[in-house]
Every structure is written in structure tokens, then in C-alpha cells.
């Protein structure tokens, strides 16, 4: 047996880290997955390589986040290593050591937004985004990146971070926000004025199973990727769509996950959620690894699988087909929509209320972005949290035009008022500064 | 200090290698006699007899005989295994038939999951049917393996009890090792049964030959992990005796130097140079198991790098650069060969005295002309290249060991970095290379006395080693030790300390049974304990532990 695609595996189960002893994010989470991987002998297969995780530096984290008041207060070493594991996965792929890689790491990250006052949805920092920004800085030939988020929860953090970025396409498939945390991710959340259509949300009805789920990959995700032509595809491989997951209500199978990865053929997978630690994760992860490596996964199956009992009803499938068609139609109209909404505006403002469920913090944000035809557009975020911190964060994007760059630096130097500090991300300079007021 | 030697304690160590058979006799903690003979590859028993006869031995005082042999290794590598039946039950995952080597491998229905719960019953009718077919082919040995059998040996035991009457040789996967890895379990169990017939015949003949010489003590056999097993265990687990040769040399280096620090061991032979690593004087083990005959097994072995840069390696000029190995060209020119080798280079500069120096000079003369350098300069260049090749390989080896994945935050932040503080060199050319290696590596280099027979010394003094795996699942109320075939009911409050105490007691009983005089040190080499939470309630603990006798050697009194 030999892998068709050489595949790297970064396995970091963090056997000494938990949110609390009975929390879904606890030490035991990847234990049975490791058992299954070891028993299958996956690491002995020619072309499958295990690599050691690493550490993400403070600088790596600052490329993505405004951590309030600072990086050290918002994270523990587990977060450095989880993000560092993703970075190592990317390094081995981009250096050509392997064709593909899977970062099986915890804790997860896709609910973490650009501003971080605390933990949301078990996430402190966004491990994919930290990896993506590390890639763009270190491998500048990688211009366009697509993130396909197949966690059952809407990746509202990743969406927030890439909302204004026309070079990162973020597609999320998730259980409908009307029925599940975090309650967002509807088709009309479609990207900011400079990146309209670069956020694509597919809220799936509860009980969606293999047929419905894979139809979205085939009829929406793959055609959009074909048109976007990314240099790199990343799968946020949450595993909580599984029929046995205790905190969601979907009906996806291990075989379905494997098929998904075969169809999508991502360059890098990053584990996100997934809390059916005994009945799902061992089989789902085995399936994903085999599929990534291009090996036969047809014998990977949950012992208790009764495929007939979880098959979607026809009306659910019909709903999904209609939904997919609508989203695809909108995607093709993204440029018309942009001129319709934003053509005459110089700045665009959005107001957001954010709740940090894990830490019980509320935050309100006013975000102002410069509508720009020449670059992704500079933006600033005025953020006030119930912890008492109020800050201004300014983001000068990669490839910013002169006007946007000047505007950002002007905002940074002239800001005054009731802020704890002003934070600056200057992506092209790779400089991240804080001016305390 | 504790002194393990008594009046009668004369001990013999014998290492039957591919080229040489080495033997030593140790009396009262001192090496009193050594011998090196050519191996009769067609008759290993007579090689052993020759070697022992060459020693200065008082047969009546011999208390311990340890044998390291290539027999099992060679029968696997040279593919001289008789037909062996394999009965395998799987479960979801990779199709087990991927691992089938021939038509005598059979898949039967039955499945157990990662926690050891049966979710598909064993198809006993199929087992009986497979037994009949194998019998009809006059097959005498079978291997029995089920997936996750180390979590629950139910199906392996059941198949065994159905078929045991009909077959002379049987092995079960869970008895090979407590580690997870289904494909390795299949190959290990297969090799184990397949080498049984030849191993049994061999051990019986060696035992007989020794008795003929007046040596009646029970023989011990060296394993790939540098420990010994008893004669009886070697009958049941012959696969454990493969690849013991390199382990013998490394244990010999430990014995001859009394090393207690972190050191690199180089065993420079004719065909290969083997490298091992000592940490705190204890050899490092491979995490998963040794490879043999192109297959990965669960056989525990020392962490080793085998390099085709050795005394008899080919030396050529490539684009003006000296290249050594990786192939062997037969004996060095100075010892009757035709082509130049590193040994010839040593001969030219006067660091190797055997054979004919003139032949060595002649072998290097082509290179001398081509490079427009004196033969001496070419020889020095060859030796320098030789030392640098070893150093580069050592650096790669150590880097690789240090970049092994770890699974806890603690181990990421506080890694146990291996940084050798010295080198120990054994094997043929060791003596002449000491100061050159010291210069190249930049760390102290030791060449112990008796370095040419370090392997036989290592075999002679290696301690018995055992490793057991313990798994407690208090939610299921079960404690399992697959290697010892123990399955016990445990209460819900069973703790990691209870698991350890249980394991230590079982090991003590085993040491007692093996008649081991001094109780060896036992290490907890792995320990994990997880709260199992279902719903939002803790329902039990999942405890995993590995206990292992620390590999080591009996002390030499002059150390
Ligand atoms: Zn999730
Ligand atoms: Zn601009």
C-alpha cells in the first residue's frame, strides 16, 4: 500500500489541556482517534508522514488578531501549539515535503474573530487564519486562498477575519443558524464592500445527511472553486456534522467525510470541532486521512451505522437543492450587487454585537471600511467590551494602495479619546503596534 | 555494594553473526577468555561448539549461557519460512486483505472496537472451515490475529481454543505485544509462528551440544531490545530473538564502559556501522517496533541506525570526490580482496596491522594517480571522509530522534533533548579510529578494552527484560494485561496507583518464576489517565500504563 498523495499528519491531542473536566474540549477528546490511527497502522503507510507540532509566535498571532489587552493575556501554550501545529502542516506542504497535510490539533479556532477579548465557542485564537497569514507572509507566491469550513457550526470568526479580503474565499457549510450556535451564517452574509461574494454561507437544515451534504460540494463549492482558482485550498475539518455528535443535529457519516475530502482534495485540513469522541472521531479521522492520501476508504464505517435510518427525506433534499441554486445565482451576480450597493460610497460602516459564550463577555463594535477599487481597503474597528476595555484597531491590508495606507497610518497616529489603546496591523510591513492612551 | 557473583558464577556469551562467531567467558565479574571464529553459515550449531571449545572454560562452574543468533533473522530475510496459516478478523478501517501475503491467510468475520467492545460476533463456523482447509494442506503452524485484540483478546482466544488441537505451532497477536497496530500485529504473529519449527530444532540441538560439553545450565537468548529471554520463552516467542546482533554490541559497550551518561555508540563492522544512543546509560528503544524482511513488526528493538559505511565498504572516486559505501566489496585488499576499502586506507597509514600493506597500497594507487596525490594522502582523505560520513549520519540520526512528535503541552515546552556527550566505539576497526573520531565529532571518544568482542560481552551480561501493558477502563470495570493474558474485574474507584501496584506484583511473580536473583529495576515508561465523560458527567477513568524492566547489564567487577 502506498499513498497516491504523500500526506503529512500533525497530531497534537494536548493530553494535558481542557476547558473544564467535563467540557467537550477535554483531554479525552482525541484519545480514541489516536487509538484508531495507531491500530490501523496509518503512520506506517508509505507516503504518510507524522511531523511534530510547533509554536506560533506572538508575532504570528498579531498578524491576525487584536488581542486585548495583549496576546499573552488571551492565550495559553495550548493555543500557541495548536496554531503552531497548523503552521507546521502548511510548512511541510509548501516546502514540498508532502502533497497534503492534516493538522489534527486542539483547541480549535474558527469562532475567534479579529478582535479577541476572550474565548468564544471553545476558541481563543483562529488557528486557520494564523496559518493562512503565516503562509501569505512566508510564501508570497500564494496569492489566493480558499477556506472551506465544514464544521457543523458557522465559522463566524473566520468569516469576520476575511470579510473584507478579496483574496481569501471563505465558504462555510453548517447547520442552519436558526437552530444552532452561533446563530449566524445566512446566505445574505456575503462579504464586505471590497470583497463581495468572497464569503459564501450555506445554512443546511437539521438532519442533512451524506446525499444532501455532498450535493452542495458538487453543485456549489467545486464550481465556485473552479472559478476562483485558488492557489491553496484549506478545509476547516470540523467533525460535528456526524449523526452521533452530542451537540448538533446533523446526519453526516465517516464515509461522507472521506468522500467530501476526496472531492474537495484540499491541500491542508485543520481539525475544528467534533465531540462524538468515541463513535465518530476515530472513524471520521481515519476516513479523512485515507481520502487525503488517495487510498481506499470504503471499509471505513461506524460499527453502529444504519444508513437507511439517517437518510434525508426528499423535502430536505429539495430544500437544499433550491438553497444551493439561489446561492450560486447570487455568487454570479456579486459584481453587479457590489456596484448597486457600494459604488457611490467612500466609507461603509457596520455595527456588531458579539457574545463570548465561553467567557461570558459582551462586545460591541463599530467597523468602518474604506470602499476602494484599487486594494482590499483599510478598515478600523472601535470595540468596547464588558470587561471595560475599549480599543481602536486599524488594519492596513496586504497590497494596500497609497491612499488606504496613508489613511490607516493617519487613523493610528491621530486617534485619541476613551480608548485603552490603538492597535495597528500593517500587513505589508509585517508590523503590529500598540499605542496605549 | 551488592555483589552478584558467587563461587560458581562463570558465564558464557556467544554472538553468532553473519561473518564471525564471537564468544567470551566471564568469571567472577572478570573477562577471562575471548574468541573470534568464522561462522559456518550452513551449521550454526557447530559454530557455537567451536567458539565455546576455543574458550578457557571450567564447564562445571558455568551458571549462565546467553546466545545471540541470526537464525530467526536469516530465515525471515532469506525467505526460508514454511507455509503458515493466518486467521485474521478485522473490523472497519483498512481492508485487512491488504496485508495478506499468500493463500494461507484467511479473513473471518468478527469485530471489536477501540475500547474492546465486541460489536460483531466471531463466525466460529468459518474458523472451523479455515482450520480444515489449512489442515488439508498439511500446514502445521497458525497465527491468530484480531483487530484491537490488545483491548480484548476474546476472538483470538476463541479461535485458539477451536483450533489448538489441530496445529503444532500457534501464536496469538495479543501475546506478541500490548501495542496497538493491526498490520504489525499480523506480520509479527505470522513471523513468530513461521520461525517456530526452525527455532525449536535449533534450540534443542544447541542445548544438546552444550550438554555434550558438560554444560547443563539453562540457556538464555538475546532479544532485539538488548534484554534476554528464557529458553522456554524463546520457544513461544521466537520472533523476539530477531535482530539481536546490533543490540549485543550496544549492550557490550554499556558493560565495557559502565557508561551512565548520554552517549553515541558506534559499532563499526565490515558491512555496516550500527549506531545506537544511550541516555543516562540506558539504550533508547524504537517507539513502534523493528523492521525485518521488508515488513514492520511489533518486536521491540533498540533505536538503531544502520549505515553502509564500514570497514569493507566500496571506496570510489566520483567527480573528484571520495565516496564510501553503501555497498560492500568483499574483504579489504590487504586481506586478500581486490578493491580498495576504508580498512586498506587504515593499513596504508599504519593504523591497521593485519594482512599485507602492499596490497592495500596497490588498491589505492589508481585513485592516487587520478587525484595526483600520494597514496598516503589518498588514504588520509579516505579516512577523513569515513569519519565525516559517520558524523553527518549521527547528526541526522540525533536530529530525527529529537524531532519525534510529542502529545502533551508539557513535552512540547520541556522537551527531553538528546545531546551526546561522548562516543563509544566498538567493533573491528574501533581501536585505530578513536582519536580521529574524537577530532571529527568534537566530543570525547572511548574505545573500551575487548572492543572486538563487545557483542559477546553484551550478550553475556544482558539482563532479562520484560514489558507489560496495562489498561484499566473503570467504566467497563475491566483491567487488561494482554501480554500476560490477564483480564480482571476492577471497582469504579480503581486509580493509576492501583494499576501500577497490580502490574508490579505481576512482574514480581514473573521475576520469581524466572528465578532472577537480583530484582531488576522497573520503569513506568508510559502513563496516561483520562476522565471519561459521557453526557456532562464523569463516568469512569481510562488508565494506560506500560511497565518495563530497565534494559541493562550485569556489572563487570573491574569497571
Ligand atoms: Zn463546531
Ligand atoms: Zn485602497
At residue A431, the pLDDT reads 97
With respect to residue A340, please indicate whether it lies within any of the assigned structural domains.
no
Q: Which of A21, A44, A300 lies nearest to residue B183, judging by beta carbons? A: A44
With respect to residue A313, please indicate whether it lies within any of the assigned structural domains.
yes
- Looking at the fold, whether A268 and A219 belong to one and the same domain comes out as yes
Q: Mark which of A334, A368, A393 sits at the end of a domain.
A: A334
Q: Which distant-in-sequence residues (6+ apart) come within 8 Å of B429 by Cβ?
A: B268, B311, B342, B343, B346, B352
> Is residue A292 within 8 Å of A261, Cβ to Cβ?
yes
> What ipTM did this prediction achieve?
0.93
> Is residue A293 within 8 Å of A4, Cβ to Cβ?
yes
Q: What are phi and psi of B219, to 5 degrees?
A: -85, 145
Cell 469522541 belongs to which residue? A277
At residue B330, the pLDDT reads 80
Say how many domains are in chain A.
Answer: 2
pLDDT level of residue B7 (50, 70, 90 thresholds)? very low
Is pLDDT of A308 > 50? Answer: yes
Q: What is the pTM of this model?
A: 0.94
With respect to residue A339, please indicate whether it lies within any of the assigned structural domains.
no
Is pLDDT of B323 > 60? Answer: yes
Average pLDDT over chain B reads 92
Identify the weakest region by mean pLDDT among A215-229, B316-330, B433-447: B316-330
- Looking at the fold, whether A268 and A380 belong to one and the same domain comes out as no
With respect to residue A216, please indicate whether it lies within any of the assigned structural domains.
yes
- Looking at the fold, whether A192 and A169 belong to one and the same domain comes out as yes
Average pLDDT over chain A reads 96
> Is residue A127 within 8 Å of A84, Cβ to Cβ?
no
- Looking at the fold, whether A363 and A232 belong to one and the same domain comes out as no
Tell me the CA–centroid distance for residue A71 and ligand 2, in Å: 28
Q: Which of A400, A410, A378 is nearest to A193 (CA)?
A: A378
Per-residue pLDDT of B12-27, as tens digits, reads: 999 998 888 999 999 9
At residue A21, the pLDDT reads 86
- B contacts of A296 (beta carbons < 8 Å): 94-95
- Looking at the fold, whether A362 and A415 belong to one and the same domain comes out as yes
Per-residue pLDDT of A72-91, as tens digits, reads: 999 999 999 999 999 999 99
Is pLDDT of B279 > 90? Answer: yes
Angstroms from A176 CA to nearest CA on chain B:
23
At residue B383, the pLDDT reads 95
Angstroms from A14 CA to nearest CA on chain B:
5
- Looking at the fold, whether A130 and A157 belong to one and the same domain comes out as yes
**Beta bridge partner(s), residue B98:** none
Q: What letter does residue A313 receive in the DSSP assignment? A: P
Angstroms from B471 CA to nearest CA on chain A:
13
Per-residue pLDDT of B83-127, as tens digits, reads: 999 999 998 899 999 999 999 999 999 999 999 999 999 999 999
Q: What angle do CA A385, A387, A392 make, to 5 degrees?
A: 40
With respect to residue A361, please indicate whether it lies within any of the assigned structural domains.
yes
B85-194 sits in which CATH class?
alpha beta
- Looking at the fold, whether A6 and A60 belong to one and the same domain comes out as yes
Q: What letter does residue B81 receive in the DSSP assignment? A: P
Q: Which sequence positions of A are flagged as catalytic?
A: 111
Share of chain B above pLDDT 70, in %: 98
The whole-number average pLDDT for the span A157-161 is 98
Is pLDDT of A352 > 50? Answer: yes
Residues A202 and A255: their CA atoms lie apart, in Å, by 21
User: Is B530's CB within 8 Å of A304's CB?
Assistant: no
DSSP A137-176: HH-TT---EEEEE-SSS--HHHHHHHTT-TTEEEEEEEE-
- Looking at the fold, whether A324 and A375 belong to one and the same domain comes out as no
CA B220, B222, B228, B230 torsion-angle sign: negative
At residue B5, the pLDDT reads 47
- Looking at the fold, whether A115 and A56 belong to one and the same domain comes out as yes
At residue B558, the pLDDT reads 62
The whole-number average pLDDT for the span B280-303 is 93
User: Is A38's CB within 8 Å of B530's CB?
Assistant: no
- Looking at the fold, whether A276 and A421 belong to one and the same domain comes out as no
Is pLDDT of B8 > 60? Answer: no
At residue A274, the pLDDT reads 93
- Looking at the fold, whether A374 and A275 belong to one and the same domain comes out as no
At residue B1, the pLDDT reads 32
The whole-number average pLDDT for the span A258-273 is 97
**CATH architecture for residues B10-76+199-303+457-461:** 2-Layer Sandwich (3.30)
Residues A232 and A98: their CA atoms lie apart, in Å, by 14
**Domain parsing of chain B, residue ranges:** 10-76+199-303+457-461, 85-194, 306-448, 467-549
- Ramachandran category for residue B325: left, alpha or beta (phi over 0 → left; psi -120 to 50 → alpha): left
The domain that holds A69 is classified in CATH as 3.40.800.20
Q: Which of B403, B528, B538 lies nearest to residue A52, judging by beta carbons? A: B403
Per-residue pLDDT of B359-418, as tens digits, reads: 999 999 999 999 999 999 999 999 999 999 999 999 999 999 999 999 999 999 989 899
- B contacts of A14 (beta carbons < 8 Å): 407-409
How distant is the alpha carbon of residue B316 from its chain centre?
A: 33
Cell 530525527 belongs to which residue? B400
C-alpha distance from residue B354 to each of B310, B331, B334 (Å): 17, 12, 8
Angstroms from B496 CA to nearest CA on chain A:
16
Is pLDDT of A194 > 50? Answer: yes
Per-residue pLDDT of B509-543, as tens digits, reads: 988 887 776 778 888 988 899 999 888 788 999 99
Per-residue pLDDT of B415-443, as tens digits, reads: 989 999 999 999 877 888 898 999 999 99
Tell me the CA–centroid distance for residue A192 and ligand 2, in Å: 14
- B contacts of A31 (beta carbons < 8 Å): 530, 542
With respect to residue A327, please indicate whether it lies within any of the assigned structural domains.
yes
User: Is B182's CB within 8 Å of A22's CB?
Assistant: no
- A contacts of B149 (beta carbons < 8 Å): none
pLDDT level of residue B28 (50, 70, 90 thresholds)? confident
- Looking at the fold, whether A207 and A351 belong to one and the same domain comes out as no
Domain that holds residue A291: 2-334
With respect to residue A62, please indicate whether it lies within any of the assigned structural domains.
yes
Residues B30 and B32: their CA atoms lie apart, in Å, by 6
User: Is A303's CB within 8 Å of B406's CB?
Assistant: no
User: Is B181's CB within 8 Å of A44's CB?
Assistant: yes
At residue B3, the pLDDT reads 43
Amino acid at each position: 500500500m502506498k499513498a497516491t498523495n504523500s500526506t503529512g499528519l500533525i497530531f497534537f491531542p494536548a493530553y494535558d489541556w481542557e476547558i473544564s473536566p467535563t467540557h467537550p474540549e477535554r483531554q479525552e477528546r482525541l484519545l480514541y482517534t489516536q487509538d484508531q490511527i495507531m491500530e490501523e497502522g496509518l503512520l506506517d503507510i508509505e507516503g504518510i508522514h507524522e511531523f511534530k507540532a510547533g509554536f506560533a509566535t506572538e508575532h504570528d498571532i498579531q498578524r491576525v488578531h487584536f488581542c486585548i489587552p495583549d496576546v499573552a493575556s488571551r492565550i495559553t501554550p495550548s493555543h500557541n501549539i495548536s496554531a503552531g501545529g497548523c503552521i507546521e502542516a502548511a510548512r511541510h506542504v509548501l516546502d514540498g515535503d508532502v502533497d497534503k497535510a492534516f493538522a489534527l490539533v486542539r483547541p480549535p479556532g474558527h469562532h475567534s474573530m479579529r478582535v479577541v477579548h476572550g474565548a468564544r465557542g471553545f476558541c481563543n485564537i483562529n488557528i486557520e487564519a494564523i496559518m493562512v497569514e503565516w503562509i501569505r507572509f512566508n510564501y508570497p507566491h500564494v496569492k489566493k486562498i480558499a477556506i472551506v469550513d465544514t464544521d457543523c457550526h458557522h465559522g463566524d470568526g473566520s468569516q469576520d477575519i476575511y470579510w473584507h479580503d478579496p483574496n481569501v474565499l471563505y465558504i462555510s457549510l453548517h447547520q442552519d443558524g436558526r437552530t444552532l450556535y452561533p446563530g449566524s451564517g445566512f446566505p445574505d452574509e456575503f462579504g464586505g464592500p471590497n470583497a463581495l461574494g468572497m464569503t459564501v454561507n450555506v445554512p443546511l437544515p437539521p438532519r442533512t445527511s451524506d446525499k444532501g451534504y455532498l450535493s452542495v460540494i458538487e453543485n456549489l463549492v467545486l464550481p465556485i472553486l473552479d472559478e476562483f482558482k485558488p492557489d491553496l485550498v484549506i478545509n476547516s475539518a470540523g467533525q460535528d456534522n456526524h449523526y452521533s455528535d452530542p451537540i448538533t443535529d446533523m446526519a453526516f457519516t465517516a464515509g461522507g467525510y472521506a468522500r467530501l475530502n476526496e472531492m474537495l482534495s484540499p491541500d491542508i485540513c485543520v481539525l475544528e470541532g467534533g465531540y462524538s469522541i468515541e463513535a465518530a472521531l476515530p472513524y471520521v479521522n481515519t476516513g479523512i486521512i485515507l481520502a487525503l492520501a488517495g487510498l481506499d476508504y470504503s471499509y471505513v464505517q461506524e460499527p453502529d451505522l444504519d444508513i437507511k435510518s439517517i437518510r434525508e427525506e426528499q423535502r430536505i433534499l429539495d430544500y437544499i437543492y433550491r438553497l444551493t441554486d439561489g446561492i450560486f445565482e447570487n455568487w454570479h451576480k456579486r459584481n453587479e450587487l457590489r456596484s448597486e450597493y457600494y459604488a457611490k460610497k467612500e466609507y461603509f460602516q457596520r455595527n456588531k454585537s458579539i457574545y463570548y459564550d465561553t467567557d461570558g463577555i459582551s462586545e460591541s463594535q463599530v467597523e468602518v471600511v474604506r470602499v476602494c477599487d484599487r486594494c482590499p481597503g483599510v478598515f478600523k474597528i472601535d470595540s468596547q467590551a464588558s470587561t471595560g476595555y475599549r480599543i481602536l484597531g486599524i488594519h492596513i491590508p496586504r497590497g494596500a494602495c497609497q491612499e488606504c495606507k496613508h489613511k490607516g497610518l493617519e487613523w493610528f497616529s491621530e486617534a485619541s479619546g476613551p480608548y485603552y489603546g490603538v492597535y495597528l496591523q500593517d500587513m505589508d510591513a509585517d508590523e503590529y503596534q500598540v499605542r496605549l492612551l | 555494594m551488592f555483589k552478584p557473583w558467587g563461587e560458581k558464577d562463570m558465564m558464557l556469551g556467544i554472538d553468532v553473526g553473519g561473518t564471525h562467531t564471537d564468544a567470551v567467558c566471564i568469571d567472577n565479574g572478570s573477562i577471562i577468555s575471548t574468541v573470534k571464529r568464522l561462522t559456518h553459515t550452513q551449521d550454526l550449531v557447530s559454530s557455537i561448539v567451536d567458539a565455546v571449545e576455543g574458550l578457557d572454560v571450567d564447564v562445571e562452574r558455568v551458571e549462565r549461557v546467553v546466545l545471540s543468533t541470526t537464525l530467526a533473522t536469516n530465515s525471515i530475510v532469506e525467505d526460508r519460512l514454511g507455509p503458515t496459516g493466518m486467521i485474521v478478523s478485522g473490523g472497519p478501517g483498512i481492508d485487512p486483505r491488504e496485508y495478506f501475503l499468500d493463500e494461507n491467510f484467511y479473513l473471518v468475520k468478527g469485530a471489536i472496537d477501540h475500547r474492546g467492545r465486541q460489536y460483531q460476533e466471531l463466525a466460529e463456523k468459518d474458523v472451523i472451515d479455515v482450520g480444515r482447509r489449512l489442515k488439508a494442506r498439511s500446514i502445521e503452524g497458525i497465527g491468530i490475529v484480531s483487530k484491537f485484540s490488545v483491548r480484548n483478546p476474546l476472538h483470538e482466544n476463541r479461535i485458539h481454543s477451536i483450533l489448538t488441537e489441530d496445529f503444532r505451532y500457534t501464536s496469538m497477536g495479543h501475546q506478541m505485544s500490548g501495542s496497538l497496530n493491526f498490520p504489525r500485529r499480523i506480520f509479527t504473529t505470522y513471523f513468530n509462528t513461521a520461525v517456530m519449527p526452525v527455532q525449536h530444532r535449533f534450540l534443542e540441538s544447541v542445548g544438546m551440544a552444550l550438554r555434550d560439553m558438560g554444560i547443563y545450565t539453562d540457556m538464555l537468548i538475546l532479544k532485539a531490545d538488548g534484554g534476554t529471554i528464557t529458553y522456554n520463552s524463546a520457544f513461544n516467542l521466537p520472533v523476539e530473538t530477531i535482530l539481536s546482533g546490533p543490540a549485543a554490541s550496544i549492550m557490550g559497550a554499556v558493560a565495557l564502559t559502565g557508561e551512565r551518561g548520554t552517549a553515541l555508540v558506534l559499532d563499526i563492522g565490515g558491512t555496516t556501522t550500527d549506531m545506537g544512543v544511550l541516555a543516562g546509560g540506558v539504550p533508547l528503544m524504537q517507539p513502534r517496533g523493528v523492521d525485518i524482511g521488508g515488513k514492520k513488526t511489533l518486536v521491540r528493538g533498540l533505536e538503531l541506525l544502520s549505515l553502509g559505511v564500514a570497514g569493507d565498504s566500496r571506496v570510489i572516486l566520483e567527480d573528484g570526490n571520495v565516496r564510501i559505501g553503501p555497498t560492500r566489496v568483499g574483504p579489504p585488499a590487504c586481506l586478500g580482496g581486490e578493491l580498495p576499502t576504508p580498512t586498506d586506507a587504515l593499513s596504508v597509514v599504519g593504523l591497521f596491522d593485519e594482512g599485507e600493506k602492499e596490497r592495500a597500497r596497490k588498491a589505492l594507487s589508481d585513485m592516487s594517480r587520478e587525484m595526483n596525490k600520494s597514496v598516503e594522502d589518498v588514504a588520509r582523505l579516505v579516512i577523513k571522509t569515513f569519519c565525516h560520513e559517520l558524523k553527518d549520519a549521527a547528526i541526522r540520526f540525533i536530529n530525527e530522534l529529537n524531532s519525534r512528535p510529542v502529545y502533551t503541552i508539557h513535552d512540547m515546552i520541556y522537551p527531553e533533548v538528546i545531546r551526546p556527550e561522548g562516543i563509544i566505539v566498538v567493533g573491528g576497526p574501533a581501536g585505530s579510529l578513536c582519536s580521529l573520531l574524537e577530532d571529527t565529532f568534537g566530543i570525547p571518544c572511548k574505545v573500551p578494552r575487548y572492543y572486538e568482542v563487545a557483542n559477546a560481552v553484551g550478550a553475556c551480561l544482558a539482563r532479562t527484560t520484560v514489558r507489560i501493558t496495562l489498561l484499566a477502563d473503570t467504566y467497563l470495570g475491566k483491567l487488561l494485561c494482554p501480554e500476560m493474558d490477564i483480564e480482571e474485574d476492577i471497582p469504579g474507584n480503581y486509580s493509576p496507583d492501583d494499576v501500577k501496584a497490580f502490574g508490579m506484583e505481576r512482574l514480581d511473580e514473573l521475576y520469581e518464576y524466572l528465578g532472577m536473583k537480583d530484582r531488576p529495576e522497573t520503569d513506568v515508561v508510559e502513563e496516561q489517565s483520562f476522565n471519561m465523560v459521557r453526557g456532562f458527567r464523569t463516568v469512569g477513568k481510562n488508565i494506560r500504563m506500560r511497565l518495563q524492566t530497565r534494559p541493562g547489564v550485569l556489572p563487570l567487577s573491574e569497571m
